[in-house]
Amino acid sequence: MASLFSKNARIVLVRRIKGFWEEFRTKKVGLFGLGLLLVYVFFALTAQWLTPYDPMSQPRLAQSYAMPEWVTLFPQYRDYVKTREWPFNWEIQSGDKFVTGWGSTVNIAFNTATPAEVKLVNKVDFQQIAPNEFFSKFRYEAANIQNAEYSLTLEFITPNGTRYRFWTSPTSSEDEAEDVNLDSKNPIFILGLGFPLQRNVGRAIFDLKGEYTFGMMVQYRPLSSSAHSEVVIKEAKLVTMGQVHGILGTDYLAKDIFTGLIYGARMSLTIGLLAAIVGTSIGIFVGVASGYLGGYVDEIAMRIVDILICLPLLPLLLALVYLYGRNVFYIVVFIAVFGWQGLARIIRAQTLSIREAAYIDTARASGAGGFYIMLRHIVPNIIPVAFASMVLAVPGAILFEAALSFLGFGDPSVPTWGMMLQHAFSFGGFTHLAWWWIIPPGLAIIGLCLAFVFIGYAFDEIVNPRLRRRR
């Protein structure tokens, strides 16, 4: 912009901006909007430090549809707990002569010619309400197997003595290393326990408070007299998924909603600003050119505007996005390219009136070319109006993108508020009454849009003298 103006013009510009700010400062609505916008900018810029999670891929943090942590302040949710990890500390129940090391990692070495077994137990003192989801995992490594068979079995015993066989390894005579993952959401696991598929396993087996026991049995059977086998069990743990998680709970995939929300600010700000800047630039360009040059240019430009006004924007953009790819870049371009017609008309009208000003005649008489006049004399004069209109175009673009995403035509690879609402609408947010999932994205959209609307309203009052208050 600096090269656009001479030094004097720059001083004038600085003075004008200062004067503009002096006037803007008196508009409460505008200042409120600006403050609100700064909050969003802060969140957008610091997103990666405000949340430890990645917005698109996260491990399971809690159960699906977990409520926010702070709901435990209310009596009806007082019992809800966060996700808890229970690391195992194995104790030896039998066969201790084969165990060379125990604790969180257990080393077992068999070298007898008779069958043997080692029984390990881990006790979990469980004093909270039953989890809806849990998983248990461990790793076993069998090495140096010589002429022997071995097998492992994991049992689960509830305080009242009910036994569940969680997992059994196939009988093997070879070296193996495997991570075992027992997930209460896994249908094979559910059926293996003898429950029907729709049963909530977590609530069924953790229905009591008290001491639960994990029992690991390692069996060894020699095939000849020189048999030998070593088994290591490690990294075992039980994880009970929380009914509550974080500031805003989780969604259907157990992803952190707060993370999606603050990264959404980044996306919405970028989309809104980019689309508005590009659209406004096209509007200024077309408006000034058609207003100043007139003739054919004007005729063609205004007919294009007529056509654009007759296009059904939402259905058309949905079709374009569907056909050419759900890509956020395309979406921005489409919104910009189909969104400048109104501004072009306003700018054209302004240009027409500026064109008749005496100083334009003076410039022309002193030999200034059309391009020079447009750039030096007309554009600076319409910038205030264009700027106000650009600020007001941002919420339009944000809302449009949100609508596209909500209808399922957003870019699936970026986190946006519209997509959060789409997921909440399509994937059980309503049947689970997940207000913590449905309400925040919309409030975020409203806040950001209103920030721009308020700023734009204040701008409009400054640049459009007719709107000035009489008092």
Partner 1 sequence: MRDYLVKRIIVSLLVLWIVASLNFIIFQVVSPINPVDTFAPSSLDIEPGQLERLRDVFGMNDPLHIRYLKYTRNMFTFEFGISFISRRPVVEEIAQRLPATVLLLGSATIAVILVGVPLGILAASKRGSKLDVTAIGAGLFTYGVPVFYIQLLFMLALSYYIRIFPVRGLYSIPAPTNPFTFMGDVAWHIALPVLTLVVGGFGGWALYTRNVLLDALTQDYIVTARAKGLSERTVLYRHAFRSTLPPIVTIIALSIPGIITGAMITEYIFTLPGIGRWYLDALTQADYPVLQTVLFLYAILTIICNLIADLLYGVLDPRIRVGMRR
Amino acid in position 41:
V
Where residue 295 falls (left for φ over 0; alpha for ψ -120 to 50; beta otherwise) is left
**Interaction between residue 393 and partner 1 (CB under 8 A):** no
What dihedral do alpha carbons 320, 324, 329, 333 form, nearest 10°? -40
Nearer to partner 1, 232 or 320 (CB): 320
CB under 8 A, 24+ apart: contacts of 103-109: 104/234, 104/235, 104/236, 105/232, 105/233, 105/234, 105/235, 106/232, 106/233, 106/234, 107/230, 107/231, 107/232, 108/218, 108/230, 108/231, 108/232, 108/233, 109/228, 109/229, 109/230
DSSP per-residue codes, 165-176: EEEEPPPB-S-E
Smallest separation (angstroms) from partner 1 to the CB of 431 = 7
Nearer to partner 1, 223 or 307 (CB): 307
Smallest separation (angstroms) from partner 1 to the CB of 318 = 6
Exactly one of 43, 90, 406, 459 binds partner 1 (CB under 8 A); that residue is 406
Smallest separation (angstroms) from partner 1 to the CB of 88 = 41
Contact range with partner 1 by CB under 8 A, out of 87-95, 114-122, 376-384, 435-443: 435-443
Contact range with partner 1 by CB under 8 A, out of 93-101, 273-281, 290-298, 306-314: 306-314
Cβ atoms of 223 and 147 closer than 8 Å: yes
Beta-strand relationship, 106-110 and 99-101: antiparallel
Nearer to partner 1, 122 or 290 (CB): 290
Q: How many CA atoms lie within 13 A of 391 on its CB side?
A: 21
Exactly one of 3, 431, 465, 468 binds partner 1 (CB under 8 A); that residue is 431
Contact range with partner 1 by CB under 8 A, out of 53-61, 113-121, 279-287, 453-461: 453-461
Exactly one of 58, 294, 403, 412 binds partner 1 (CB under 8 A); that residue is 403
Smallest separation (angstroms) from partner 1 to the CB of 28 = 12
Cβ atoms of 241 and 63 closer than 8 Å: yes
Residues making up the chain, counted from first to last = 471
**Interaction between residue 468 and partner 1 (CB under 8 A):** no
Q: How many CB atoms lie within 10 A of CB 468?
A: 9
Window 313-332: residues binding partner 1 (CB under 8 A): 313-316, 318-320, 322-324
Cβ atoms of 64 and 427 closer than 8 Å: no
**Interaction between residue 358 and partner 1 (CB under 8 A):** no
- # binding residues, partner 1 (CB under 8 A): 46
**Tokens 């994991």, residue located:** 154
SS (H, E, C) 388-450: HHHHHHHHHHHHHHHHHHHCCCCCCCCCCHHHHHHHHHHCCCCCCCCHHHHHHHHHHHHHHHH
Smallest separation (angstroms) from partner 1 to the CB of 271 = 14
Q: In whole angstroms, what is the distance from residue 30 CA to residue 81 CA?
A: 43
Nearer to partner 1, 74 or 322 (CB): 322
**Interaction between residue 43 and partner 1 (CB under 8 A):** no
**Interaction between residue 306 and partner 1 (CB under 8 A):** yes
**Interaction between residue 38 and partner 1 (CB under 8 A):** no
**Interaction between residue 24 and partner 1 (CB under 8 A):** no
Exactly one of 5, 20, 252, 435 binds partner 1 (CB under 8 A); that residue is 435
Nearer to partner 1, 333 or 446 (CB): 446
Binding residues for partner 1 (CB under 8 A) = 306-307, 309-316, 318-320, 322-324, 392, 395-396, 399, 402-403, 406-409, 421, 424-425, 430-431, 433, 435, 438-439, 442, 445-446, 449-450, 452-454, 457, 466, 471
